[in-house]
Homo-oligomer: A and B are copies of this chain.
Amino acid sequence: MYHKSVTYLLQLTKDEINEFLNSFDTVLTDCDGVLWLNNNVIDKANLVMNRFRELGKKVFFITNNSSKSREEYAIKCKELNFKCDKEEIISSAYLAADYLKNCGFNKKVYIVGSTGITQELDNVGIKHTDVGPDVHCTTVPKLIEGIKLDQEIGAVIVGFDEHISFPKILKASSYLNNPDCLFVATNTDEQFPLNSEFIIPGTGTMVAAVQTCAGRKPHVVGKPNTYICEALVKEHNINPKRTLMIGDRCNTDILLGTRCGFQTLLVLTGVTTLNDVMEWKQSDSQDEQDLLPDVYLDKLGDLLPFLK
């Protein structure tokens, strides 16, 4: 079978690198692991992103993290000296609200998630339940006795929810028992990347719980689902062939790029290692070939000298 080539960008000549930089006029970038780690900019990533804008390229910040709204992300970007408008933030909470709006949804949403989702639903005028703790502190029969299902609910959104609980899974699944109830997940990342002895549950964990109990699969709006591409083409008129997707995680960022026909750049400042890439490169599995980026760099800041 065809084995895709993966190029280390700095091995190219200056002319070839210029050709690459002129081959796209839209830049999509993942955030955590590419631009910053927690609250620290990864070496000169902000200067590179700002330079792309100055060169007239459209720039979008794409994140599967559903816990912040676009407004909150725009504030974080500004604090870290990334030039950025709210409209350039594409978060999975925003996509979930955008998806329901485009469905013509006019009922109420039951949320397993946080204020990132409530704020985005408020922005598009969709009603929703409250978020926060919903703790089980009685017996199961008494719990059920105390629940009154809201007949107005017509969709369940599952995002990151550190207050995931038995009552929440029970309510979400009971609403989803109605086949007309829409089921949307912000993303399915299993865990948060963290170099420590702790494994932090990601949204995929909450989605797996609700999906298993409800016996239904959600419509996933976050990476690597191609809904993002549909939304960007429709609302911002981007040309996928002249779009670069930058990421640190091949099974979300780069796979999204492969599926959408974007060009893809992997940076090695996050989850995926060069060893991972070299292993997939040898593989005869199409699924693993689809994880391969076109080009890679140690870090995004390495592009800066070529953008002057």
Q: Could you list which residues of chain A lie within 8 angstroms of chain B, going by C-beta atoms? A: 133, 135-137, 140, 144, 147, 149, 161-166, 169-170, 173-174, 176-177, 190-191, 196-202, 204-209, 211-215
Query: What are the 8 closest A-B residue pairs judged by CB atoms, nearest first?
Result: A173-B199, A208-B212, A209-B209, A208-B208, A205-B213, A201-B213, A162-B166, A169-B201
Are A215 and B197 CB-contacts (below 8 A) given A133-B137, A140-B162, A166-B162? no
* Total identical chains: 2
Contact A136–B162 (Cβ < 8 Å): yes
Contact B200–A170 (Cβ < 8 Å): yes
Q: A106–B270 Cα gap in the complex (Å)?
A: 38
**Cβ of A147: which chain B residues have Cβ within 8 Å of it?**
198
A132, chain B: closest CB distance, angstroms: 11
**Cβ of A213: which chain B residues have Cβ within 8 Å of it?**
190-191, 199, 201-202, 204-205
**Cβ of A170: which chain B residues have Cβ within 8 Å of it?**
198-201
Q: A177–B190 Cα gap in the complex (Å)?
A: 13
User: 18 A–B contact pairs at CB < 8 A?
Assistant: A133-B135, A135-B135, A136-B162, A144-B196, A144-B200, A147-B198, A163-B166, A164-B166, A169-B201, A174-B197, A174-B199, A190-B212, A190-B215, A191-B213, A201-B213, A205-B212, A208-B209, A208-B212
Q: A102–B99 Cα gap in the complex (Å)?
A: 52
Contact B164–A164 (Cβ < 8 Å): yes
Q: A144–B199 Cα gap in the complex (Å)?
A: 10
Residue A199 contacts which of B137, B177, B191, B199 (CB distance < 8 angstroms)?
A: B177
Contact B199–A209 (Cβ < 8 Å): no
**Cβ of A201: which chain B residues have Cβ within 8 Å of it?**
166, 169-170, 173, 209, 213
Residue A163 contacts which of B136, B162, B214 (CB distance < 8 angstroms)?
A: B136
Q: A71–B223 Cα gap in the complex (Å)?
A: 50
**Cβ of A190: which chain B residues have Cβ within 8 Å of it?**
212-213, 215
Contact B197–A149 (Cβ < 8 Å): yes
Which chain B residue shows the least CB distance to A211? B208
**Cβ of A215: which chain B residues have Cβ within 8 Å of it?**
190-191
A141, chain B: closest CB distance, angstroms: 9
A142, chain B: closest CB distance, angstroms: 11
